[in-house]
Amino acid sequence: MKGWHMYSRIQELKEQGFSIRKAAQITKINRGTITKYWDMSPEEFARTLTEVNKMSSLAAYEHIVVNWLESYPCMSAAQVQDWLMERYKIDTADRTIRRYVAGIREKYKLSRNSEPLREYEAVDEMPRGYQMQMDFGVKGVRDAYSSRYRKLYFVAFVLSCSRYKWGFFQDRPFTSADLVRALWGCFHYMGGMPRQLVYDQDTIIVVSENNGDIIHTQAFTGFLNETKISTLVCRKSDPETKGKIEAVVRFIKGNFMENRLFMNIDVWNSSFEEWLDRTGNMKKHETTKRKPEEMFFEEQPYLLPLYGNPPISDTASEERTVNKDNTILYNSNRYSVPLGTYSSEKTVQVECEENTLKIYTVTGDLLAEHTLSTERGKLVKSDSHRKQKEKKVQEKLDKAIKLLGEEFRAFLSSLVIKKPRYVREQLGIVVKTCQDYGREVAIQAVMFCQENDLISANDLHNAVLAFSDSDKQEVPSRLPVESEKYHIAVHKRPLSIYSDVAEGRW
């Protein structure tokens, strides 16, 4: 029983007072089908039947659509609909084609993923003392005193062979100088340093990948020069290169930081080192099946001795973000950098020596020097960092005089002084007026404007129009239309009538 015959039979049983269960027993139709059509109007059933028929008509093209979806996995239902219309003149509703394509994908297990799944291979274990991986993390924790959440930032390190870990927390984002100090702290904690350091292309470390010739930030470059350690920078979108530290970051967040109350940063770091001794480096690793603490005792003799000296905290450089107005914020004051810095340098390094603030690019080039302000909320700006407006205005003035002649110098100079914000527009009007009406008429107009103290390009333009229209024809007395209905005679009264009205004698 299909189509309208089935629908009519269901509605007939409903009108006779039968229940859905009894109607299903009488018609031998599934109760779900009976329920679906029980309260459906004839119009709704007609639309449903039309859609079913269209789905049936598409079945003839199933092998074609399957071939398209296999050849082009990212192909959308809308594109399938367009191709069917283009090649076979089949016009179907959007909803119908979406359901049809979804059914085919499910039937033939066709995925929409346009990129093949990446194949991974196991990474060979690193020799002892060779490699260390590092990465950053951030997580919100609850404050013990206010019950509010606050963000804590941390950097984590792990030796690739023994999985021995260390980390450091602070309550503000890391700068290049912070990272360098944390690295030295890690090396001292482990009693040596590895031969290779693996990290992401983080902005506080890497300025540019530079096709393999990595450009590092100034502070990190100094660290590399001191320690002579080799580096391996992960490519973009390739976190698997440092998969060990990725797992450590997740471990720290989920095991140490989760549900822990924050009191102050010193207590937090102290608690973290206790956690490392208790859990982080004492829990058996799932891959090595050994405790990192045990393996570290075997790896530690292979670490290199420390080279160089750690940076002094009070002279270390700090990183600052360049604002759109080409300033940086330092101790609640704004300090200017040269115009154009924001376009080329989004971050800079700052160093404070006595009462002088020095601003460098991330590659170490000096950008600016300022005397430190003892106040707050001030803008400290160098004259060399201001726009050279006067110079540009003078260049525009000289260009206009060269084009028009020395006769215009006095007028144009007065124009620049009177309307400094609209110099370009005013000079443009003067030049165009001279070009359109000739220098002779323009010079005559300039003399007129100077005599009458009319210092404006628009006044000059109007004067030129007046002088150039000396031979203009008289205005006709009649309107330039032929129909007489527009030529109405106006009654003329003597002026004495208006004076009588004004004095109340009318």
Output the DSSP codes for 293-332.
Answer: HHHHHHHGGGSBPPPS-PPPGGG--EEEEPPTTSEEEETT
pLDDT (0 to 100) of residue 501: 57
Contact 262, 256 (CB under 8 A): no
Over residues 300-345, the pLDDT tens digits come to: 999 998 876 666 544 556 778 888 888 988 877 889 988 888 887 7
pLDDT of residue 493: 60
Q: Residue 187's closest CA among 151, 159, 152, 162?
A: 159
Query: pLDDT at position 138, please?
Result: 94
d(CA 348, CA 367): 9
**Distance in Å from the first CA to the final CA of the chain:** 102
Which amino acid appears at position 146 of this protein? S
**Helical segments of 419-482, H only:** 423-437, 439-451, 457-468
Residue matched to tokens 């797992």 = 247
In this predicted structure, what is the pLDDT of residue 456? Answer: 85
Q: In what order do the strands lie in the sheet with 318-321?
A: 318-321, 347-353, 356-360, 366-371
Domains and CATH numbers, the chain: 3-108 (no CATH), 131-302 (3.30.420.10), 317-385 (no CATH), 387-506 (no CATH)
Number of H helices and number of E strands within the chain? 19, 14
Structure tokens at 204: 């506080």
Name the residue among 403, 469, 395, 452 with its Cα closest to residue 460: 452
**Closest of 156, 153, 185, 144 to residue 172, by C-alpha:** 153
pLDDT value at residue 296: 93
Q: Which amino acid is at 97?
A: I
Residue 95 CB burial class (10 angstroms; 0-12, 13-18, ≥19): exposed
The identity of residue 501, as a single letter, is V
Spans of the chain below 70 pLDDT: 1-4, 45-57, 113-123, 207-215, 235-241, 308-317, 363, 387-391, 469-506
Residue for token pair 């390739």: 238
- Residue 98: the pLDDT is 86
420, containing H or E segment: none
Q: What's the rounded Cα separation, in Å, for the pair 171 and 328?
A: 21
